[in-house]
Chains A and B, each alone.
Chain A
């Protein structure tokens, strides 16, 4: 009787998880496997005809300058975002750690942009950065400077997107750093103060090693978010001017949906999936080496 009850209690969690597993398999796992097949066809996304072409699109990708341009932009965006977002987020967390009054208010203010959708923030910043009517150029003109084409200059456009993404995302990573800072045992910090450790030394020798866990999470998340960025690109530049801000995700969307080359777009998507997987594994393994138990 006891064995039967034990077996039942073991099975119950499996049954409880079944609806989630079914839905996840149906809407995530199955489409992912179907995508592998679509990437081997020249399907246009609408027609019932799917011509099997094998690995042709993967061979094409290797020689496609548009793909490599988007690849370069994606990597650049992801790495710069991961570095800048983390620096800004950590700086904000350290600042707020010192603030005594209205701590919650400041946390909320910095976190607020993260609650807005990427499309909405994109359109807001497009209006602010508009060449003719935007507030930035109005201010620049008022102080006698030449207006800047923030989103139309191919040398600046990608950095304008980085700026907006940092503005939007830093608050989220800041919260994780604040949690990390709060988990550092106070006695260690106090001992360092008593021993007369200088603030810079304290930061690099105590705080940073203790924050590696938060850093690993934040760096991985911001790197993956950088590789996946899509909505800001759509709203702010549509991948332009020319191909200057086209990332792999935006290329997947335009090629697969607008241009009706679903097969090729899916092949690019599979390549992005592999890329993200490899980067995540390498990055996690590297950062775990430096983790310290608090």
Chain B
């Protein structure tokens, strides 16, 4: 036993010795970095910029952690943190959660100046935002539209439904949606919620907290009825409930659906799948023809952990990487390849596809809304509420519950969840 113990202790000491030796050796400071990987294009683009940064200088070396899918991003970060492997720099999506855990460092003053708008959390800016919210639009197959004589984009919501009816009358499935990924339901849910309930009010959730608004309202029932009808009257591809977001491009390009409702990042994937594809787009207008597009700044972005910030080399590496990432050359490459919306003060000029150029124009000309779950401070949703709602919405889309039952259940769930989670108190405590 004693011999075994000695061997074990020796092995541990030997391993530590090797680790210490590498840490103490002179060379570039190694800094770990991770980000959520949604679509392949964004993942590859960020990977390329990280590699470019490593090649561009020899003071710091960014080491990418394993890819983490965006569906399990927060869970994976918690696991990494619990096992002492939290990356030094990471794409921080649930900023308030990390701020409350006192895990991230405020963004240095010299970096704050890079951005057009930053969103403080409990009064402090913690992240370097690298994308503004993507607008969600209908991307459609122009060839199919032309074939059936649909040559005008809708001016009202009724026009949009008319297009769906025209396509159905020709045996074409009008739309596909990746409802199997609950976060993808959020796109259409957020649209109807913003267009018909909040009308783009970014402080609507705080009104629900204060009791000035509730989900069980005629506007909300109307919005959810519109959403349910879209799925129940044959406008959606029949297998929508098991369709994943990653299948949408195949369904559109493979002519299994004429339209998809998604973000502008999908354009790159469509063009990659079929460079000859004739792509069109339009935002969904409301009953009166008003257009409200998702967009604007969020608190999400690159963050440095507090633990890493204690090491001057890692802190300097973070600043250096941020300046590199948001430099004209790298950031325009990022925006161009991912069809993202810029966050920087400096105007980025780059060539893009005609469709993306149009989306940029339409986005600039119309009123914006933030996704309902993106608010911070007094507009932060209780932690389970988003996912719980989306699952209930799934039930509504299948006709298991009515819009009336959905909104009633939302108010009941809200009452339970806000018993543990009150952002008003949290804001005061943090300040």
Given contacts A46-B97, A241-B395, contact A152 B242 (CB under 8 A): yes
* Residues A140-178 near B (CB distance < 8 A): 147, 149-154
Stretch at the interface among A74-82, A213-221, A256-264: A256-264
The answer to whether the Cβ of B66 comes within 8 Å of any Cβ in the partner chain is no
Task: Please provide the chain A residues from 222 to 272 with a CB less than 8 Å away from any CB of chain B in the complex.
Answer: 237-243, 253-255, 257-261
Interface residues in B, total, Cβ within 8 A: 41
Q: Is A239 within 8 A of B391, CB to CB?
A: yes
Contact of A153 among B81, B100, B241, B250 (CB under 8 A): B241
Of A32-40, A83-91, A126-134, A273-281, the one contacting chain B is: A126-134
A132 touches B237 (CB 8 A): yes
A200 interface contact, C-beta 8 A: no
Docked Cα-Cα span, A241 to B399, in Å, equals: 12
CA distance A130 to B388 in the complex (A): 25
Residues of chain A within 8 A of B94, CB atoms compared = 260
**B416, CB-defined interface residue at 8 Å:** yes
Task: Decide if A242 touches B400 in the complex (CB within 8 Å).
Answer: yes
Query: Count of chain A residues with Cβ under 8 Å from any Cβ of B?
Result: 40
A73 at the interface (CB under 8 A from B): no
Query: Would you call B242 and A259 a contact (CB within 8 A)?
Result: no
- In the complex, the answer to whether A260 meets B420 with C-beta atoms within 8 Å is no
Contacts A46-B81, A46-B103, A132-B243 given; indicate if A242 touches B97 (C-beta within 8 A): no
Instruction: Output the least CB separation between A270 and chain B (Å).
Output: 18
B278 part of interface (Cβ distance < 8 Å)? no
Q: Taking each of B101, B180, B416, which has the highest tally of chain A beta carbons within 10 Å of its own beta carbon?
A: B180
Q: Does B139 contact A (CB under 8 A)?
A: no
B74 touches A257 (CB 8 A): yes
B355-393 residues with Cβ-Cβ distance < 8 A to A are 383-384, 387-388, 391-392
Interface residue B40 (Cβ < 8 Å from any Cβ of A): no
Consensus secondary structure, chain B interface: helix
A132 and B74: CB pair below 8 A? no
Residues on A with C-beta less than 8 A from B75 are: 253, 257-258
Q: Are B180 and A147 in contact (CB-based, < 8 A)?
A: no
A149–chain B nearest beta-carbon distance, Å: 5
CB distance from B380 to the nearest CB of A (A): 11
A132 proximity list for chain B (CB < 8 A) = 237, 239, 243, 247, 250-251, 256
Q: Is A185 in contact with chain B by the CB < 8 A criterion?
A: no
Are B1 and A241 in contact, CB atoms less than 8 angstroms apart? no
B156 interface contact, C-beta 8 A: no
Considering the chains assembled together, what is the distance between the CA atoms of A88 and B76 in angstroms?
A: 37
Does B78 lie within 8 Å of A45, measured CB to CB?
Answer: yes
Please state if A243 and B391 are interface contacts (CB–CB under 8 Å). Answer: yes
A5 within 8 A of B: no
Is residue A47 within 8 Å, beta carbon to beta carbon, of the partner chain?
yes
Provide the residues of chain A in CB contact with B97, threshold 8 Å: 44, 46, 260
Question: Which of chain A's residues have a CB closer than 8 A to the CB of B392?
Answer: 242
**Cβ-defined contact, A152 with B240, below 8 A:** yes
Contact with A along B83-98 (1 / 0, CB 8 A): 0000000000010011
Closest-by-CB residue of A relative to B4 is A19
Task: Knowing that A16-B1, A48-B101 touch, tell me 11 more A-B residue pairs with CB under 8 angstroms.
Answer: A44-B383, A49-B100, A131-B242, A152-B180, A152-B240, A240-B391, A255-B384, A257-B79, A258-B75, A259-B383, A261-B420
* Cross-chain pairs A/B with CB under 8 angstroms, 23 sampled: A44-B100, A44-B383, A129-B242, A130-B247, A131-B239, A132-B237, A132-B243, A150-B242, A152-B242, A240-B182, A240-B241, A240-B391, A241-B179, A241-B180, A241-B241, A242-B391, A243-B391, A243-B395, A253-B75, A258-B72, A258-B75, A259-B388, A260-B97
